[in-house]
Amino acid sequence: MLCTPSRFRLRVWSYFREACVGLDGLLSNCSTGHEAGRVKSTNVAQFTLDDYEGVFADRHLLHNIVAKWAKHKPDATALLSADGRRAVTWCEFERITSAMAIELVRIGFTKGDYLVTLLPMSVDHVLLEYSCFKIGVIVAPLELRSSVGEVVRALEILRPRGFISLAAQSPLDFRQLVCTVLSECPSIDHLFVVDAQATIPGTRSFASFVEQAGNAAMTDTGGRRILEQIAATPCENDGALIIFTTGSTGSPKPALLSHRNITVQNMCVSGAFFGGDRGSRILVNLPASHVGGQTEALMSILFGGGTAVLLEFFDAARSLRAITEHRVEILGQIPAMYNLEWMLKDYDCHDLSSLRFAAYGGNAVSRPFVNQLAAMAPIIGTGLGLTEAAGFCTYVQSNSVDQEAIIAGLGQEMPIYPCSVRHPMSDDGSAGDELPSGVVGHVCFRGPQTFLGYVNDSVATARAISRDGFLYTGDLGYKDAAGLHLTGRDKWVIKSFGYQISPSDVEKHICDHDKKVANCIVVGAPHEVVSEAVVALVEKRPGVELSIQELDRHARSLPSYMRPRHWMLVEPGQLPLNRLAKPDYLRAQELARKQIEQLRAQGQWDSAHLKDNIAETDFAKN
């Protein structure tokens, strides 16, 4: 649920409006932008490397985009909280992030350091991120529904200089998590907390950090020298952002994205979907840990000088109210979020007439879904989005009259980031040969959107990027005149709530209940609201009593989107196995499909099942 900002944040914000005036003399000039000379396809504008290197040469660094618009349109709104309490102009955006960047340097942050965050998509979070970009500090936002173990694992992988977390903000309470981090991750130099109701020993309040940054901005003690030194520090090929991606090969992996990776994608999304430099307004209600919320929505709208309306936690009703109250023009969500909004009894009472473009991604959808989306906005769009490619890498859009283009496939790639369908990667690590049109193979991309790699995991990186620079996405598909079409994954994966779930992660957790569970198989089942729901086939140990209620209690320590929505208990020795005595996933999925069909016929799946078992707070809490 969306939470009212705390009093301390309002005080900090008021303080900053006065304090940051002292930074006026520190800000550098930046040129205004112009529209690119673009090659037109039959569907969306096309962008080339020449466009990026020429017309958009002043937008290769994320923080330079802020500086550009601060010069060109200083009083226009850049960031706006969905509740209307916080509004940040481009001039304020530049001033505040410069002040916070200076303070980060003062307390010891340097280029290449990591700052891990466990925060919602708030105005404060965005300002902190762009402060880090200015000095070459790499931001790693974590999923708010992460377990304590997952947070500790991420911190052990990255070994960051700093960690900032919510403490207690309904419906979330991370105070115990913060204490665990303090005891298990002693290498962290700076641990900040937001909205702490009481002091947590060993931590510093984020409010005090902001206040110190404001004081430094007012006095300008050494600020000019520091800002001049750090202004030229980051380059476009340096890392800027880490998004943890749960792919088909195991636990979440930290994908490192550079300024160039992100801003190339921003150029394409802004021009193809958002109207370029017209200054559009988008609702950002995806998590800060999601590539859709960060690079596709937030950073792409800022690339074009638009306004990001930020909803800290997804809530269907508040999303619709934000669209109405702030006259939002662009909406990008996963299918499950649209479904939750359409299920609201008062959906038709909301004025959504300001919407001119609605996009979805993450899952395949049905024709009725596309028809419903087309009734929501005059232009709709989608494409293939990949964390390892900084977001969208194919594009297609349709109008409200003719949806055939968007139903036909995932559209076309951009000239700057070409797509090919290839044979598997060779044993020597080079890419396989390209396949002809219409032939199914491994979907690959090559060019400036390909991520830098998985942090501290050269083996996984080598499996994803060939020696000759082709990104193997893990998707199987083919290309034809209509564009890209996916046919499946080369590894087993479940897509639910916009997340990719590795069955082995859920299976391991269930099997940890080893006194009563002998083995299990986890598969996905089609669900009209969340695309796929997790189904678990669980084999009991001989001579024990095991109930679904007991399994539900055990699963509560999993992130909510990973929890099974249906359990199938099987007797000892009855779990489906193949001839090598390994889990038979195809047979398990067939068994699950038959049970789900029965539940659906009885009205106990899809929407009905959602109301009983999946609360909207699944998007916001454990």
Give the pLDDT confidence of 503-530 residue by residue, as tens digits.
Answer: 878 888 898 898 898 888 999 998 888 8
* Residue whose pair of structure tokens reads 């006194």 in the numeric block: 515
Q: Is 306 left (phi over 0), alpha (psi -120 to 50) or beta?
A: beta
Is residue 303's pLDDT more than 80?
Answer: yes
556 in a domain, yes or no?
A: yes
Q: How many domains does the chain have?
A: 1
Is residue 337's pLDDT more than 80?
Answer: yes
Q: pLDDT-based confidence at 232, cuts 50/70/90?
A: low
Percent of the chain residues past pLDDT 90, beyond the cut: 62
pLDDT in tens, 130-148: 999 999 999 999 999 888 9
Output the pTM of the full model.
0.80
**Which of 378, 377, 373, 381 shows the shortest CA–CA distance to 405?**
381
524 in a domain, yes or no?
A: yes
Q: Tell me which of 213-227, 278-292, 462-476 is least confident.
A: 213-227
Q: Is 308 helix (H, G, I), strand (E, B) or coil?
A: strand
Q: What is the 3-state secondary structure (H, E, C) of 34-97?
A: CCCCCEECCCCEECCHHHHHCCCHHHCCHHHHHHHHHHHCCCCEEEEECCCCCEEEHHHHHHHH
Q: Tell me which of 35-39, 168-172, 419-423, 563-567 is least confident.
A: 35-39
| Token output for 305 | 């000088």
d(CA 303, CA 36): 14
532 or 172, higher pLDDT: 532
Is residue 297's pLDDT more than 50?
Answer: yes
579 in a domain, yes or no?
A: yes
Q: What is the mean pLDDT of residues 580-606?
A: 84
581 in a domain, yes or no?
A: yes
504 in a domain, yes or no?
A: yes
For residues 238 and 259, the answer to whether their CB atoms sit within 8 Å is yes
How many angstroms separate the most distant Cα atoms in the chain? 77
Q: pLDDT-based confidence at 167, cuts 50/70/90?
A: confident
Is residue 42's pLDDT more than 70?
Answer: no
User: What is the CATH number for 530?
Assistant: 3.30.300.30
213 in a domain, yes or no?
A: no
d(CA 368, CA 349): 21
Domain of residue 522: give its range: 494-619
Is residue 152's pLDDT more than 90?
Answer: yes
Is residue 262's pLDDT more than 50?
Answer: yes
pLDDT of residue 614: 37
432 in a domain, yes or no?
A: no
Average pLDDT score over the chain: 86
pLDDT of residue 190: 96
608 in a domain, yes or no?
A: yes
pLDDT in tens, 415-433: 999 999 999 999 999 999 9
